Copies of this chain bind each other. A is one copy, B any other.
């Protein structure tokens, strides 16, 4: 068979796992979730698929690594000795994730799908740890650590992902206010018999400030912590 022709010269700057992950993040940021393909990656890195597969097992691992890198960076900001209260520190962690998801909208989907597959891998402990430390600092009894941290984590990721979507462009010239207004009016056209609640909240949606609403949710959960906790386990008020 004919010998393969080698045309281009070898890369000058060596390929590395870090460079690949970095390029993947940039590609996801600029071209969206569907923008990360091995072909786009090979073009951007001026190489071939085999070179990438030498450093990375497959696309899932690459996505995991990109997610982990961005989340780690988001949680690493504000490390130094800010003598804030645990509440403020928790809000800072939450807003850090909020901003990271806002800046990299693909994170929302990626975190969700990563939770739904190999959920307890690298990124989950990272987030749980950051939240959990503040939960512990708040004086929550250890028995309830898991419940409280889990509630906070799910709310933070869910709400941040939701709000990140609101702020994105949904077509040419559609900004956040227009988008939320469109949703609001769409909800007000729902059947009054089937959707009384949704119609009622449709009014208060367009006006609110995202971060404030987000923090209000966290405050609500924290208020639940200080309230009388239900007895240990399987011991709720009965008889």
Chain A residues proximal to chain B, CB less than 8 Å: 105, 108-109, 112-113, 115-117, 119-120, 125, 128-129, 132-133, 135-136, 142-151, 153-155, 157-159, 161-162, 164-166, 183, 186-187, 190, 194-198, 200-201, 204-205, 208-209, 212-213, 216-217, 219-230, 233-234
What distance in Å separates the Cβ of A58 from its nearest Cβ neighbour in chain B? 14
Which residues of chain B have C-beta atoms less than 8 A from A105's C-beta? Answer: 116
Structural contact, B143 and A204, CB atoms closer than 8 A: yes
CA distance A77 to B161 in the complex (A): 29
Option from B112, B187, B220, B234 in Cβ contact (under 8 Å) with A148: B220
Are B224 and A186 in contact, with the CB atoms below 8 A? no
Q: Cβ of B205 and Cβ of A165 under 8 Å apart?
A: no
Report the bound CA distance from A198 to B120 in whole Å.
11
CB pair A150–B146 under 8 Å, yes or no, is no
The answer to whether B158 touches A201, judged by C-beta atoms less than 8 angstroms apart, is no
Task: Looking at the assembled complex, report how far the CB atom of A178 sits from the nearest CB atom of chain B, in whole angstroms.
Answer: 13
Do A187 and B120 contact each other (CB < 8 Å), given the known contacts A205-B146, A217-B147, A223-B228? yes
A90 to B154, CA, bound (A): 18
A200 to B143, CA, bound (A): 10
Q: How far is the CA of A136 from the CA of B184 in the complex (A)?
A: 19
List chain B residues, Cβ under 8 A from A223: 223-225, 227-230
Contact between B161 and A116, CB atoms less than 8 A apart: yes
* Residues of B with C-beta under 8 A to A230: 216, 219, 223
CB-CB under 8 A from A200, the residues of chain B are 132, 136, 142, 145
Complex contact A133–B224 (CB within 8 A): no
